Amino acid sequence: MIKKDKILVIQTAFLGDVILALPIVQTLKKHLPDSKIDFLCIPNTVGVLENHPDINQSIAYDKKGGDKLDKFIEILSEIRESEYDIVISPHRSFRSAMLTYYSEAHVKTGFNRNALSFLLTNKVKYVQNKHEIYRNLELVKAVLGNDYDEDKISLKPNLYPSNKDVNFVNHLFNRSNLVTFAPCSRWFTKQLTIDKSKQVIDILISDGYNIALIGGESDEIYCCELEKQIDDDSLINLAGKLTPLQSYTVITKSKALITVDSAAQHLGAASNTPIILIYGSTNSSFGFYPLTSKHSIVENKVLNCRPCTDHGRDKCPLKHFKCIEDLTAEQIVAELRKIKA
């Protein structure tokens, strides 16, 4: 019988991917309460795992900059020294596949679209139109086999901001009737234009809402320009000022979250806050939408060029960007009014 005492989950993609991998950990822990589960991710995402009771330790792997080979060898040595019984990798990159294969774990599990899937002990079919959480749970099922119990599935990612996080957010502002707004993405074709975001905020202010802008450091220029154009005390610009768990805390204080297809929607789903999700060049067919929260989707359904990509692009390949330009602020806010009715 294969031991299942020490388990490593590898997800070195973006913040949203890490959040969506948490049900792997939570479901494993429900089945194997005595196991120790570690989680390997990049430094920019490791903070969202803080205080999670089902994670034994988080391991940050800085795969960018410097000597990439040295970093790979260093993290691989750390993995081998830990002598994991099972390694699960929902990430499908070549590098994650190499770490999985050379981990020396008895069980190496990943998707068949993994760059080195032929080296895995357990290959799981990647079904594109299935929600990412359900896809990831297929990896758990492959590991547990007949011991997999549907009653022990955890679908909602659980996040655990500290008291320090909560107090920090409370000291920043104390506003009622709050809507959190996340208009930015690292991909141009997934985010709103500044003009479109301004129109949304103008309507929200007219409706009597306070608005908290959230985003990462890369979104600061966008959000500062938006703040300058709005120039109203109802808008609080928090972009670049918060950790992921602090952004999550802001969302929990909100009546709703309005967001593009970015990590913010997954923070929102973890909080059970109602979500207005705006799709540009992507759509729900790739399996990234709020699974466990009340939500409404705003998208341009008449364009035959959508979706043009599963991740997003730096510019519209057809140079018209109608997937966002043809959406109206009134459409977006109308969905908020419906979902709050």
Domains, the chain, with CATH or none = 6-152 (3.40.50.2000), 163-340 (3.40.50.2000)
Q: Using a pLDDT cut of 70, give the percent of the chain over it.
A: 99
Rg (C-alpha) for the chain, rounded Å, is 21
Beta strands in 78-219 (DSSP E): 86-89, 107-111, 122-124, 178-182, 210-213
What pTM was estimated for this model as a whole? 0.95
Burial tier of 69 (Cβ tally within 10 Å: 0-12, 13-18, 19+): exposed
Integer Cα distance of 311 and 336 in angstroms: 25
Interhelix angle 163-172/244-252, rounded to 10 degrees, is 60
The predicted structure's pLDDT at residue 292: 76
The predicted structure's pLDDT at residue 94: 87
Per-residue model confidence as pLDDT tens digits over 262-316? 999 999 999 999 999 999 999 999 999 998 789 999 999 999 999 998 889 999 9
Per-residue model confidence as pLDDT tens digits over 108-136? 999 998 778 888 999 999 998 899 999 99
- Residue 74 reports pLDDT greater than 70: yes
- Residue 68 reports pLDDT greater than 90: no
The structure tokens listed for 332 are: 């977006």
Q: How far is CA 197 from CA 70, 188, 206, 241, 341, in A?
A: 43, 14, 14, 19, 23
